[in-house]
Structure 1
């Protein structure tokens, strides 16, 4: 096994996920799938305008190497990314998404971000898609736990929210049986998920992508959509 982002060959366990994280660039399974799709499918050109939410260490370096000074990293809590040694801008998706210029970005990336926002995630996705250039792509993933979709925004104290939604405030989960009725209502997208349509098994094994992520919707599933895929 070799990390397809940094080339590292050492991996460490995560809770219930043996050898999931690269010890060098800290990539997870979804990060490495994202890198495969960026390199082999999206293929942004040097100097592309890239907008990266909650920037992962390894993926951030990959995107900076492509975009140069056109790379923009943003998050609602920039100090969390001080270890990256880059400028991460303060950005609140529920309010600042409307400030994004339309037709600007060649690539927008956000992995496991939508579950944290306390507003209408559909509007956020639509507005992000409108910010893509004509041939730009948005690449993203979400938690997919079980079959059912759950979504809750509550008026409560921070302590109450932590007790109800966990320390990381997961306000929604996307269920396997309702991808068509949630994300599929926003974008024209495949009704199923199969990584082997895009990458041979030996490539997936080499990048340390476990087989249970190959043929079904999971939290490692990476969706790639374009502005023309909008159904609304």
Structure 2
């Protein structure tokens, strides 16, 4: 039996794209979403979530339904804002979602201040300097605010190609998906993020906080195994906390 960190439901997670015990059968969450939710919970960012007192200023890019419901408090948290380059794809958000292009750095810097900024598997889509995107988002954080994100990672080194002439087949071969412009690697993702965010503490290590048995119950085994060997995976939570 598994337990979802987001919907707080005990259920047997189902297979998803060849990954066993990956998807919560109630809310549909995947490992990376449960990992980021657990991280924010452990950082005491989600106090009073699910109540009318939860009013954290949140910027959420490419929102997932289960996280949207939790962070927006089912539409009651008016300080929650979500965005995507193609907002028409997110009908479940109602009027909450706005259009935003994260390749537009000046536009990003004009977004409202935030306590929490979240994005899961978004950076690989941005046809611009992703380091500038991270830094622009960090500039929006209030003191003590957190940016948390996950990125697709494979064994080896970082690879990127912003050329618009690259074919879909070439993108799928190099980056696993035709709308990706980059993919991150286990060899250099951590030092790369440390350099961008100018701090050594950029990775949330599950094995420092929970047991392998609890990780399995939460459906976070892949992340836990990577953390235990000081590596990273596509569910690893990277983060930045703005100094007070």
| TM-score bracket, shorter-length normalisation | 0.7 to 0.9
Other structure's SS at 1:204 match:
helix
Q: Can you give the 5+ residue segments of structure 1 that lack an aligned partner in the other structure?
A: none
The aligned residue for residue 222 of structure 1 is: 237
The aligned residue for residue 212 of structure 1 is: 225
Alignment of 1:8-19 (within 5 A): 8-19=10-21
TM-score, length-scaled by structure 1:
0.87
Q: Aligned equivalents of 1:169 and 1:218: distance in 2?
A: 20
The aligned residue for residue 50 of structure 2 is: none
Contact in 1 for aligned 2:59/2:80 (Cα 8 Å): yes
Alignment of 1:36-185 (within 5 A): 36-44=38-46, 46-65=54-73, 68-95=77-104, 98-101=107-110, 104-156=113-165, 161-166=167-172, 167-185=177-195
Query: RMSD of aligned C-alpha atoms?
Result: 2.4
- The structure in which a higher percent of residues are helix is 1
TM-score, length-scaled by structure 2:
0.83
- Structure 1 residue 103: deviation in Å? 7.8
C-alpha offsets along residues 115-174 of structure 1, whole Å, 9 cap, x if unaligned? 011000000000100110011000101111112110110032xxx542221344221111
- Structure 1 residue 228: deviation in Å? 3.6
Query: Number of residues paired by the alignment?
Result: 226
Q: Aligned equivalents of 1:85 and 1:213: distance in 2?
A: 37
Displaced runs of 4 or more, over 4 A:
none
Q: Structure 1 stretch 209-218 or stretch 14-23: which is displaced more?
A: 209-218
Q: Can you give the 5+ residue segments of structure 2 that lack an aligned partner in the other structure?
A: 48-53
Structure 2 CA distance for partners of 1:71 and 1:97, relative to 1, 3 Å: farther
